[in-house]
Amino acid sequence: MLDSATRDMDVIVIGSGAAGLSAALAAHEAGAERILVAEAEGIVGGSSRLSGGLMMGAGTRYQRAQGIEDDWEALFHDYMTLNMWQVEAGVVERLTQRAGAAVEWLGDLGVEFYDQLVFGGDETKPRVHCPIGRGQAVIDVLTRHCRDRGIEIALGQRVDRLLVEDGEVTGIAVGDDTITAGSVIVASGGFGASEQKRSEYFPSVFDTGWSYYIGADGARGDAIDFTRGVNAQLTGFDRGLRLLHTDFDKMYEAYIPGWLTLINRHGHRFCNETAPYGIMDGLLKAQGDSAFAIFDHRSLVEATELGVARYKQQIPGSTKRQSPHWNLDVIDLMLKEGKVHKRDTLAELAESIHVPVGALEATVERINEFASAGEDRDYVKDPKFLEPISDGPFYAVEVRPATCCFTAFGVRIDRDAQVLDENGRVISGLYAAGEVCGGVIGPRYVGSGNSYGNCVTMGRVAGQSAAAHAH
């Protein structure tokens, strides 16, 4: 390692999202003095500033204040089970052990959270913390603390190479400019903004044919390229979060309203329509990544007049909003564009969407029985969402899991956030955290809150490890 007198910096962080800024602050708290955050774009915050900023964490003071008893072991268990153990268990153990403390650390720095906690996915206890002011507020607080501590944030610096000496990472390069450091932390986010990388590393979103990305422009997956020079191991192929998309516009809707009924190409219902979105992604995969939402005119009019989307869960701060897609105005508009099927009879609707007439009619009969009995005997949807499909005209809209929210293929790390090489050995001087990493987010997203929780928590771990190495 370059000694502290000859190197430019103690720690360099690549990327100024939640992972990068948390890493920089944690490195400073752990004793590193000269810290640089190199940011490619002209603005701080990456996808983290666009994000809801919802963050999972167990055993926090915020949970206790609401009388919620929880601990990291329960979170670890839920996380591992939901992901069928197809994640890096050692990293997930560290993440779940420290996620609660990371939420409280943000609180100590000045991030305010709503009192109400929400369910991120399928866990048994609400453990998702909702910041007032969403992800931007978290970034603002982290940025302020970085600047107060003299941590330099250099904008417009797109790192394209790592410096290496005797097998050890010793700095970064932006074109011909080089800067040396005791440790380098990669926190440059995902690759959703690169269509080419989406098609190569996240084909299940790309192959839907409607794929589009909702995160920051800077998420081009540069780290996949520049860590090749040090033979970093990549893992988590074809993982990330896909949200259901109507192809009406490029506006995402994380949940679908509970009053809709989903059917597959055989005309059958296949799920509880209010399933958490991390789980809905997998449910759609099992149906060949396409389904139809069906409903009748009466339900559409009622949903429109209600004026508020009927989601299973309302996130604090985003309550009392109409669904951006499932209302009369938008459906009428999309009908004219040929993206909505509207027919007077179910038989005509079935023909229009190429599903068997008998199956569609039977599915509708069954949902109507459930609605009048007040019990969904097939998929146990909360009866308050059960709507009969009885008054024509009838509608069908195709949905595909095509909205790419974030990506989860990237460099492999160990529990101390050290990057591993292709053989599984630690690459000295190189650390990583956040969306740039693979193996932490699994085949089933445990979110809302999984990704941001990973960024802040493992960002702090990376900062501490990098500071200790640079010491």
For ligand FAD, the binding residue among 2, 15, 234, 466 (CB under 6 A) is: 15
Residue 14 engages ligand FAD in binding (rule: CB under 6 A): yes
Residue 403 engages ligand FAD in binding (rule: CB under 6 A): no
Minimal distance, residue 186 CB to ligand FAD, in Å: 9
How many residues touch ligand FAD under the rule CB under 6 A: the total is 45
In single-letter form, the type of residue at position 224 comes to: I
Residue 446 engages ligand FAD in binding (rule: CB under 6 A): no
Q: With respect to ligand FAD, which residue has the nearer C-beta, 267 or 453?
A: 453
Residue 419 engages ligand FAD in binding (rule: CB under 6 A): no
Minimal distance, residue 50 CB to ligand FAD, in Å: 5
For ligand FAD, the binding residue among 233, 323, 451, 464 (CB under 6 A) is: 451
Q: With respect to ligand FAD, which residue has the nearer C-beta, 39 or 104?
A: 39
Residue 434 engages ligand FAD in binding (rule: CB under 6 A): yes
Q: How many C-beta atoms surround the C-beta of residue 226 within 10 A?
A: 20
Minimal distance, residue 206 CB to ligand FAD, in Å: 17
Cα–Cα distance for residue pair 94/92, rounded to 1 Å:
5
CB 58 within 8 A of CB 96: yes
Residue 289 engages ligand FAD in binding (rule: CB under 6 A): no
Residue 18 engages ligand FAD in binding (rule: CB under 6 A): yes
DSSP 279-326: HHHHHHHTTTS-EEEEEEHHHHHHHHHH-S---SSPPTTS-S---SSS
Q: Give the DSSP letter of residue 372.
A: H
Cα–Cα distance for residue pair 255/275, rounded to 1 Å:
9
Q: With respect to ligand FAD, which residue has the nearer C-beta, 128 or 346?
A: 128
Q: With respect to ligand FAD, which residue has the nearer C-beta, 355 or 408?
A: 408
- SS3 state of residue 87: coil
Task: Provide the token pair at 279.
Answer: 């789980």
Residue 20 engages ligand FAD in binding (rule: CB under 6 A): yes
| Binding segment toward ligand FAD, per CB under 6 A, in 15-23, 243-251, 278-286, 388-396 | 15-23
Residues numbered 185 to 204 that lie near ligand FAD (CB under 6 A) are 187-189
Cβ-based burial of 409 (10 A; exposed 0-12, middle 13-18, buried ≥19): buried
| Binding segment toward ligand FAD, per CB under 6 A, in 154-162, 264-272, 324-332, 371-379 | 154-162
Residue 457 engages ligand FAD in binding (rule: CB under 6 A): no
Cis bond before residue 448 (omega within 30° of 0): yes
Residue 447 engages ligand FAD in binding (rule: CB under 6 A): yes
Instruction: Please list, residue by residue across 181-217, b when 16 or more beta carbons sit within 10 angstroms of its beta carbon and e when fewer do.
Output: bbbbbbbbbbbbbbeebbeebbebbbebebbbbbbbe
Site pattern 37..56 for ligand FAD (x: CB under 6 A): -xxxx----xxx-xxxxx--
Beta strands in 320-451 (DSSP E): 341-343, 394-407, 410-411, 418-420, 426-432
- The C-alpha angle with vertex 175 and arms to 174 and 180, in degrees rounded to 5, equals 45
Residues that bind ligand FAD (CB under 6 A): 14-20, 38-41, 46-48, 50-54, 135, 157-159, 187-189, 214-216, 218-219, 222, 405-406, 434-436, 447-453, 455
